[in-house]
Amino acid sequence: MGVIGIIAVIITIISDFILIGRPNSAMDFLKFGTESMAGLSQWRITVGTFLGVIVIPFQIAGLGMVYYALKPAGKFKSLTVVISTAHALMLAVGFHIAYAYIASGWRLYYETGASNLIVRDMMKMFDNYWLITLIIIGVEATVSSLLYIIIIIRYETLYPKWMAFLNPVGILICVFLMMLVLPYPIGGFIAPAFLNISTLTFFICQLVIFKQKDKVLI
C-alpha cells in the first residue's frame, strides 16, 4: 500500500507541473495570484486538474505505513493520526478541483472585459473559499503532525525516536525553505508542487524505515 501511495503522489506532482508549472524562480511564482491562471490553456486546466483529482485519493493508501508503524502504541492513537491526515487529503481533492473553476473564472473575466466587476467580485469570493479550504487542510496537517510527534516520543512504535523530526509539517517547512532558493526556470515548476513533494518525501521516509525492519507494506 505504501508503494500505491507513493505512485499516487508522483502522478499528483505531474498534474501540478501540467496545471500551473511555468518557467520562473520560486520566489516569482509565489508572488502570482490566482489571476495569473487566466493565461492557462484549456488543455492544461482540464488535464492538470482532473489527473490530480483522480489520483489524490489513492495517496491515502500511503498512510497504511503510518498506521502500521504507530499501531504498537495503540490502535486508537494510530487512527487519530491516520484519520486526520486522510481527511486533509480528502479536502485536497476539493482544493485541487477548484483550480479548474478559478482558472475558468479568470478567463471569463478577461473575455468579457476586464471592467466586469460582477465577475471580479465572484472571483474574489472564489479566492476566499479556496483559502479557507487551504487553512483547514493546514490545521489538520498540523494537528496530525503534533499527534505523530507525541506518539513517537512518548510511546513504543516501530519508528526510531528521531523519526519524530520527519513529520509531515516539519518536512514541508524544510522543502519550502529549500524551494525558495531555486532559480529560474526550475523554481516555477517545483513551487506549485511543493506540498506534494513534501508528502512524497514523507512517504519515502516511511518506506525506508520499513525496508530496514524487513516489514515493507506493498
Q: What is the pLDDT of residue 218?
A: 42
Q: What is the pLDDT of residue 217?
A: 44
Other beta carbons within 10 Å of 183 = 11
Q: What is the pLDDT of residue 211?
A: 80
Q: Is the pLDDT of residue 196 over 90?
A: yes
Q: Is the pLDDT of residue 1 over 80?
A: no
Kindly report whether the peptide bond that precedes residue 23 is cis, defined as omega within 30 degrees of 0. no
Q: Which of 27-31, 109-113, 130-134 has the highest mean pLDDT?
A: 130-134
Could you give the CA distance from residue 151 to residue 40 in angstroms, rounded to a whole number?
A: 44
Longest pairwise C-alpha distance within the chain: 63
Could you give the CA distance from residue 154 to residue 149 in angstroms, rounded to a whole number?
A: 8
- Better pLDDT: 164 or 191: 164
Q: What is the pLDDT of residue 214?
A: 60
Q: Which three cell numbers stand for residue 28?
A: 516569482
Q: What is the mean pLDDT of the chain?
A: 88
Instruction: Identify whether the C-beta of residue 26 lies closer than 8 Å to the C-beta of residue 182.
Output: yes
pLDDT single digits (tens) 118-159: 888 888 899 899 999 999 999 999 999 999 999 999 999 999
Q: Is the pLDDT of residue 181 over 90?
A: no
Q: What is the pLDDT of residue 216?
A: 44
Residue labelled with grid coordinates 520499513: 210
pLDDT single digits (tens) 165-180: 999 999 999 988 888 8
Angle between helices 168-179 and 194-212 (to 10 degrees): 130
Q: Is the pLDDT of residue 25 over 50?
A: yes
Q: Which three cell numbers stand for residue 217?
A: 507494506
Q: What is the pLDDT of residue 34?
A: 81
DSSP 49-84: HHHHHHHGGGGGGGHHHHHHHHGGG-HHHHHHHHHH
Residues 6+ apart with CB under 8 A from 17: 48, 189, 192, 193
pLDDT (average), residues 20-39: 79
Q: What is the pLDDT of residue 114?
A: 66
pLDDT single digits (tens) 71-106: 999 999 999 999 999 999 999 999 999 999 999 888
Could you give the CA distance from residue 116 to residue 160 in angstroms, rounded to a whole number?
A: 58
Q: Which three cell numbers stand for residue 68?
A: 502500521
pLDDT (average), residues 181-195: 82
CA distances from 93 to 20, 35, 142, 162, 177 (A): 16, 21, 18, 31, 25
